[in-house]
């Protein structure tokens, strides 16, 4: 097979995105016949029809959809090259883009990323969202690493690798006066007498907490539910209630005055899973984050 001509691929990509040769010609300021010839040359190289007539425009064939998906990756990366080259030439930034799933403890995520925060000229970009959306961004190389609170769904088409990064015990913290008063009762039974702040059902930890309550015959009095663990701890520091936090993330609570440890859960843990693309396997900051977690 002849070598792929990326100019031909670019013209196909534009035609597919614009939905027709006329609109692509207007965007590229070229003759329709020239663009059509370039796309036909690509089809001949690949041995498959990529576009077919559809009304006044064109539609992408099954083969065309497979090519278009790869073209999206290639040209999305291409758009970032000028910015990255300019930043590198100016000695400005070392970029690390991380996706954080909605249910993940942000306190734990901060601790996991600490080993790279002293990197000279670091530009850290954090995106929060649903797991499926983050995996799509990772597959398009817009993210270097995704951290999630549960094993990701298998999707062979995305070509991603995942590993359980850590399992951390869950501790319970609360405002100092509330904790002091509750310590006359045995932990964890004291949790049944206190107002509780819990993660929402978005977090895998919430299901584990509910099962742990049931196993320990605790009837929780929930007064607040939060998707963001840092926001949850802020409300707790203001006296609203007692809350769970992974032992890993608890190291960040020192910055919040007035919070005290109530007790440590036996048999209750939070998991963090790391997901990478092939490109992420080579990113030095990703490697450093994972190596530090493995040695923790």
What tens digit of pLDDT does each residue of 180-221 get?
887 656 889 899 999 999 999 888 889 999 999 999 999 999
pLDDT of residue 55: 85
Boundary (domain end) residue, out of 63, 80, 97:
80
Please report whether residue 100 resides in a domain. Answer: yes
Please report whether residue 123 resides in a domain. Answer: yes
In this predicted structure, the answer to whether residue 224 has a pLDDT above a threshold of 90 is: yes
Boundary (domain end) residue, out of 49, 80, 111:
80
Q: What is the CATH number of the domain that holds 238?
A: 3.40.190.10
- Domain co-membership, 173 together with 247: yes
pTM score over 0.85? no
- Domain co-membership, 54 together with 196: no
Q: What is the CATH number of the domain that holds 65?
A: 1.10.10.10
What tens digit of pLDDT does each residue of 155-191 get?
655 677 888 888 889 999 999 889 888 765 688 989 9
- Domain co-membership, 117 together with 193: no
Please report whether residue 56 resides in a domain. Answer: yes
Task: Please spell the DSSP secondary structure of the chain, one letter per residue.
Answer: -PPP-HHHHHHHHHHHHHTSHHHHHHHHT--HHHHHHHHHHHHHHHTS--EEEETTEEEE-HHHHHHHHHHHHHHHHHHHHHHHHHHHHTT--EEEEEEEETTS-HHHHHHHHGGGTT-TTEEEEEEEE-HHHHHHHHHTTS-SEEEESSPPPP-GGG--EEEEEEEEEEEEEEEHHHHHHHTTSPTTGGGGGSEEEEE-TTSHHHHHHHHHHHHTT---EEEEEES-HHHHHHHHHTTS-BEEEETTGGGGGGGSTTEEEEEEEEEEEEEEEEEE-TTGGG-HHHHHHHHHHHH-
Please report whether residue 1 resides in a domain. Answer: no
| Domains held by the chain: number | 3
pLDDT of residue 41: 92
What tens digit of pLDDT does each residue of 101-148 get?
887 888 788 888 999 998 888 889 999 888 888 888 888 888 999 999
Instruction: Quote the domain boundaries for residue 94.
Output: 88-166+273-295
Boundary (domain end) residue, out of 23, 46, 80:
80
């Amino acid at each position: 097979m002849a070598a792929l001509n990326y100019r031909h691929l670019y013209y196909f990509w534009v035609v597919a995105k614009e939905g027709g040769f006329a609109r692509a010609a207007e965007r590229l300021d070229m003759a329709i016949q020239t663009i059509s010839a370039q796309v036909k040359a690509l089809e001949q190289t690949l041995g498959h029809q990529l576009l077919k007539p559809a009304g006044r425009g064109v539609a992408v064939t099954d083969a065309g959809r497979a090519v278009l998906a790869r073209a999206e990756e290639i040209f999305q990366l291409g758009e970032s090259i000028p910015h990255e080259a300019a930043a590198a030439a100016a000695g400005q930034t070392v970029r690390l883009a991380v996706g954080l799933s909605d249910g993940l403890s942000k306190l734990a995520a901060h601790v996991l990323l600490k080993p790279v925060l002293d990197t000279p000229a670091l530009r850290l970009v954090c995106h929060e969202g649903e797991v499926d959306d983050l995996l799509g961004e990772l597959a398009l190389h817009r993210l270097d690493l995704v951290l999630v609170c549960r094993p990701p769904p298998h999707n062979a088409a995305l070509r991603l690798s995942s590993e359980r990064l850590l399992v951390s015990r869950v501790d319970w913290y609360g405002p100092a006066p509330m904790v002091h008063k509750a310590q006359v009762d045995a932990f964890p039974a004291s949790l049944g007498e206190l107002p509780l702040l819990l993660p929402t059902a978005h977090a895998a930890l919430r299901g584990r907490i509910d099962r742990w309550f049931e196993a320990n015959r605790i009837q929780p009095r929930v007064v607040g539910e939060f998707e963001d663990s840092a926001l949850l701890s802020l409300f707790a520091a203001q006296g609203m209630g007692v809350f769970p936090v992974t032992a890993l993330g608890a190291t960040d609570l020192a910055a919040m005055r007035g919070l005290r440890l109530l007790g440590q859960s036996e048999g209750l843990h939070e998991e963090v899973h790391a997901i990478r693309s092939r490109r992420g396997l080579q990113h030095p900051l990703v490697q450093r984050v994972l190596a530090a977690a493995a040695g923790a």
